Amino acid sequence: MMPGCETISGKRILFVMAVEAEYGPHLRARFIPLMTGVGPVEAALATGVALHDMARQNALPDLAVCLGSAGSRTCPLGDIYQVASVSWRDMDASRLGFAKGVTPFVDHPVDLPLATPLPLPLARLSTGANIVGGEDYAAIDADMVDMETFAVARACARFGVPLMGLRGVSDGPGELDHINSWMELLGLLDERLAAAVDLLPAALAHPG
């Protein structure tokens, strides 16, 4: 089936994920996501094209939800966090006088605030094109790391669509030992992310 917007409490919601490995049976029972592929370029491209097509049909979502796994050296493994803000750790035009993390000539802060309607713990997220592990975390000013959310946020901003983020901690604080280290907790995160999604109807029906 093709991805589309799910209607929750009268709102059109677009769910966005990176890869099938994170989309387990519990999430599959709740929605069909837009799958972007891995990394900022794939995420921006897929989300931008999808939103462009929806805009042409006057069918933009009321809210996009980007969800999946994340790494962290401070947040406990297996826990689910709502993304308070997201930054882009790859962007560094500081030699030209721009703050690290800010795209030159584009009006956005280092930390983009996201929608946080759910009664869940908040965490700051950093997006980049590298897999983070071990001592790499020391150089990153954020609670968690991923590879897509900032790109999805920029595409959503282009079309005026609010974005919220949900991330489950799959790895960290130590060094990743191949892809199996990342995949070990994905089944648990599928179940816990689905439980977080189940909080959306009440939160959207009674905002604030």
Cα–Cα distance between 76 and 145 in angstroms, integer?
13
User: Over the chain, what is the mean pLDDT?
Assistant: 92
Tokens of 71: 């790494």
- The confidence band for 1, taking pLDDT boundaries of 50, 70 and 90, is very low
Strand residues in 72-171 grouped as ranges (E)? 80-88, 112-113, 122-127, 144-146, 163-171
Give yes or no for residue 174 having a pLDDT over 70: no
pLDDT of residue 150: 97
Spatial neighbors of 27 by CB under 8 A, at least 6 apart, are 17, 33, 67, 190, 193, 194, 197
Contact 34, 156 (CB under 8 A): no
Partner residues linked to 88 by β-bridges? 127
Q: Is 1 exposed, middle or buried (0-12, 13-18, 19+ CB in 10 A)?
A: exposed
Q: State pLDDT tens for residues 4-38.
A: 789 999 999 999 999 999 999 999 999 999 999 99
More confident residue, 37 or 177: 37
- What is the three-class DSSP state of 116? coil
